[in-house]
Each structure stands twice: as structure tokens, then as C-alpha cells.
Amino acid sequence: MSFVKELSKGIIKENPIFVIVLGMCPTLAVTSSVQNGIGMGLAATFVLICSNIIISLIKNITPEKIRIPIYITVIAAFVSIVDMAMAAYVPGLHKSLGLFIPLIVVNCIILGRAEAFASKNNMLASLADGIGMGLGFTLSLVVVAAIREILGAGTFAGIAVMPKTYEPMLVAILAPGAFITLGFLMALMNMMKEKK
């Protein structure tokens, strides 16, 4: 059952954003709409899963001293693949995520999981860890994006959900809204933890 355990821990108990607080830049930057949030989440998940698998496979042949440059090379290669594939097949999304696709390389979640988990565990566990962490990341992005999009544009994934009379709170979509939304969400998580 350890496969399921490794998989599920990333979603809630060790959620990369709300609990470990990693990968803040994309979380704030691309969550102005739900579509962007999902796109970013899935792109990062793909990179996370692939790099976790490769790194756990090569852990025996990577010399301790240069492990970080090797991990970075592996991650950067997968990021470039995602970048090119997205430019070719989902150009609209590629355009709106823009700079933040190559920046998946420096997303601390991915290097963090490589160093803390994949380099010490076998392939199957690393795969589960990658899927779990990736889903946790995607889920958090969607939650933040949903709040911002509903408040700031009155829509959810492009579909109008608020009554016509609702005047969109523009600030929620802009940069300040990102910080404030995430701040309150984290406070909420803390509050729930305290109650337990």
C-alpha cells in the first residue's frame, strides 16, 4: 500500500504550496485564470514525474559531488521538451504562461523532490511521489485561480458564474490580488490545523 501512501501525501498532508511553501512564483503569477492554473500544474507535474523517475534510476551512477548539476540538467531537458511540445500543440496556453514555462526549471518543488525523495527511493515510490506532489501542486493552483477568477472576472474557466449585476473586483486578477488571496488561504489552512 505504500504506493498509495506516497501518492496521497502530496495532495494534503505535505501539500507543496500550502504546507511546505515551495514554488511560490508560478503559484502567484499564472493563477489569473483557472485554465492557466491547470496548464501550469500539469506541465509541472509532467516534469516532476519524469525527472523523479530518471533521477531515481540514475541514483547509483551519479557521483555525490556533482549530483545537483546533473539533476538540473535532467530537469532542464524535460522542461525544454514540455516547452517545445506546448508551443506546437497548445499555442494559446503556451503564450499566456510565457516566461513561466522555462522557469519550471527553478521551481523549488522539482529540485526539492529530486534531492529529498527521488535520490533516496526506488523508481516506483518516486513515481508515486511525483504524481502526488504534482497533483497537490495542480490542485492548489486551481483553488487559488478559481478564487481569483471568480472574484476578479466573475467567471470560472471562462464560463460566467456570477450574476450579471456582479461588478468584477479587478484587483483580484492583478498582482496584489494574488498575494492577498494566497495569504488568506494559508491563514485558513493554519486555522484548520490548529483546530485539529
Instruction: By CB under 8 A, name the binding residues for another protein.
Output: 21-22, 24-26, 28-29, 32-33, 61-63, 65-66, 68-70, 72-74, 76-77, 79-81, 83-85, 87-89, 91, 95-96, 98-99, 102-103, 105-108, 111, 152-153, 170-171, 173-180, 182-184, 186-188, 190-191, 194
Burial class (CB in 10 A: 0-12, 13-18, 19+), 164: exposed
Output the smallest distance, CB 21 to another protein, in A: 6
Beta bridge partners of 155: 160
* C-beta of 107 vs 138, nearer to another protein: 107
* C-beta of 71 vs 129, nearer to another protein: 71
* C-beta of 8 vs 155, nearer to another protein: 155
Query: What are the b/e assignments for 169-184, b being 16+ CB within 10 Å?
Result: eeebbeeebbeebbee
Output the smallest distance, CB 1 to another protein, in A: 33
* C-beta of 94 vs 125, nearer to another protein: 94
* C-beta of 65 vs 164, nearer to another protein: 65
Output the smallest distance, CB 186 to another protein, in A: 4
Beta bridge partners of 159: 156
Q: What is the dihedral of CA 12, 132, 123, 51, to 10 degrees?
A: -120
Candidates 106, 143, 149; CA nearest to 17 is 143
Count the neighbouring beta carbons within 10 Å of the beta carbon of residue 72: 16
